[in-house]
Chains A and B, each alone.
Chain A
Amino acid sequence: MIEVKDLHKSFGSNKILKGISTSFDTGKTNLIIGQSGSGKTVFLKCLLGLYDFEQGEITYDGKVLSQMSTDEKRNLRAKIGMVFQGSALFDSMTIAENVMFPLRMFTKQSRSEMQDRVDVVLNRVNLQNAHHKMPSEASGGMQKRVAIARAIVNNPKYLFCDEPNSGLDPKTAIVIDNLIQEITDEFQITTVINSHDMNSVMEIGEKIVFLKDGIKEWEGSKDSIFKTDNEAVTNFVYSSELFKKVRRMYIEENE
């Protein structure tokens, strides 16, 4: 479980995060949503420890991030898997080498053990025959799946995804969403996804945190988001006619 208390972050005089408090539960897919510029990425980078923050507290399973020693931080990071918006695969390595990379860095496994583990995770993301391809030879959807495979190869306790569906067609986006959901359930990972894809919200949003101008405007689940009266949330989530209709139908059905 990850807990955040009163998080403040500024760049110079520009206040980005203005006192965010929330928690992300173990074994659940937690979504951070909000418009571009609302502070989602900065929030995610603070959670990852990539940005220092002025005020507040982040705890990972009860341990305060800012009070951790260098070794403790290193151990924590070895338990974190991250899927970047642009996949961030290493260009100079094949897909199999990319997935094997965390194992080479953090384990003492033999080459054959590492290869077996790579086979398992590449099978898990349905990429059985892509081992020797270079990232540049893979499609956007394949690259995202490789990034997920790399993120989970070391059995992480926490999985962070920064807009995992950006640049993907709706069908592939659903495949990626479902894959993340399945992996979260299967391995009981604390998953935090930064997204503004409404399909993801409706599909996998077990907990949703809505940010607006650096403030936590609303939090709830994919079910409660249909019923919320919060104007900022409804304006954001139901900005398209399609989602407005879906919401009306949902409310009518439930009434």
Chain B
Amino acid sequence: MKYLHNIGTYFIMVKDMFRKPTKWSVMKTLILKDIDDLIIGSLGIVAFISFFVGGVVAIQTSLNISNPLIPKYLVGFATRQSIILEFAPTFISIIMAGKVGSFITSSIGTMRVTEQIDALEVMGINAINYLVFPKFIALTLYPFIISIAMFLGILGGLAACVYGGYGTFEDYIEGVRIDFIPFHMAYAFIKTMAFAFILATIPSFYGYFMKGGALEVGKASTTSFVWTSVIIILVNYLITSILLG
């Protein structure tokens, strides 16, 4: 029953997010602040992780090719496919559920605990629109992060491959270019947009509807991370089976 109640409350929150908009001059400031916090603030960690995981994928692929009949360009091909199809959209989103999701839950949760949300409501402001909508808009730029993750992941693979002596520059580039299916990019960005929506709304839900004090803010952040990750994995499976299955 509790799960059903939560699901219902979540969808009501999503509906309220678009209702009774906050004054544009105020909303503009909120959106810019959230772009800074959620998108710009995540670039460093995403770049670092993508580059090195791309390198690891290239090394692992190379080390597992023992058959001399398998072409050397497979390292580049496998790295590209792994990065574009799964690593960049899905695993970066799981990392973002930890980074951005916890930030959203704890910041909104703290506002709930310190009565700042009550203050908004007493003033007649739609607190859900005020707090969640700017995050949703900011995260529409999430594909930008994923594009960078894709680029740096493939670049990391190239660096590891060439400087680690696992293959040549030419072989890797040939692998990256061979059998490229443009729809895979569309598939990756459709997933990314779905994950962006999940990243904006589920952590907001756990922050907005939390009850209690400082300890509960921490618990809500953990619960939010777990559920955001679970929903991302499920939606990933669903979209993959619909679009590629």
Measuring CB to CB, which residues of chain A are less than 8 angstroms from any residue of chain B?
Answer: 48, 50, 73-74, 76-78, 80, 82, 84-86, 88-92, 102, 104-106, 160
Contacts and interface: CB of A to CB of B under 8 A. Distances in A.
A50 B118 contact: yes
B170 interface: no
A74 B23 contact: no
Interface residues of B, number: 17
Contact of B26 (A77, A88, A89, A104): A104
Contacts of B125: 105
Nearest to A45: B118
A105 B23 contact: yes
Interface of B: 22-23, 25-26, 33, 110-111, 114-116, 118-119, 121-125
By Cβ-Cβ distance, the 3 closest A-B pairs, closest first, are: A77-B124, A88-B115, A88-B119
Contact of A102 (B111, B121, B123): B123
Contacts, number: 48
Contact of A105 (B33, B122, B123): B123
Given A104-B23, A104-B26, A105-B22, A78 B115 contact: no
Given A104-B23, A104-B25, A77 B116 contact: no
Contacts of A90: 116, 119
Contact of A74 (B110, B111, B124): B124
Contact of B118 (A80, A84, A105, A106): A84
A62 to B, nearest CB: 20
B19 to A, nearest CB: 10
Given A104-B25, A104-B26, A105-B26, A84 B121 contact: no
A88 B116 CA distance: 5
B104 to A, nearest CB: 14
Contacts of A74: 124
Nearest to B130: A105
Contact of A85 (B23, B115, B121): B115
Nearest to A98: B119
Given A104-B23, A105-B26, A88 B123 contact: no
A73 B116 contact: no
Given A104-B26, A105-B23, A105-B26, A50 B115 contact: no
A104 B23 CA distance: 8
Contacts of A48: 122
A50 B26 contact: no
A48 B110 CA distance: 22
Contact of A86 (B22, B115, B121): B115
A77 B119 CA distance: 11
7 contacts: A77-B124, A82-B119, A82-B123, A86-B114, A86-B115, A88-B116, A91-B116
A86 B117 CA distance: 12
Nearest to B121: A50
B25 A80 contact: no
A105 B123 CA distance: 9
B118 A88 contact: yes
A80 B119 CA distance: 11
A112 to B, nearest CB: 15
A82 B116 contact: no
A84 B113 CA distance: 12
A105 B30 CA distance: 13
B111 to A, nearest CB: 8
A84 B118 CA distance: 9
A56 to B, nearest CB: 20
Contacts of A50: 118, 121-122
Contacts of A82: 119, 122-123
Contact of A88 (B22, B23, B25, B114): B114
B114 A73 contact: no
